[in-house]
Amino acid sequence: MTQVPTSDETIVVDPVGHVQVVYLGPVAPHWECRMIFGDEEQIQAFVDRIDARLRFLPPHDPQFRRNQERVRRDAERENLQVDWVLDYEDETTA
Ordered by start, the domain boundaries in the chain are: 28-85
Confidence of residue 90 (pLDDT cuts 50, 70, 90): low
CA 56 to chain centre: 16
39-76 confidence digits (pLDDT tens): 999 999 999 999 999 988 999 899 999 999 999 999 99
> For strand 80-85 and strand 31-37, is the pairing parallel, antiparallel, or unpaired?
unpaired
1-30 confidence digits (pLDDT tens): 556 655 666 676 789 999 999 999 888 789
Within 10 Å of residue 58's Cβ, how many Cβ atoms?
A: 16
Would you state the pLDDT for residue 6? 59
Would you state the pLDDT for residue 2? 53
- Amino acid at site 74: D
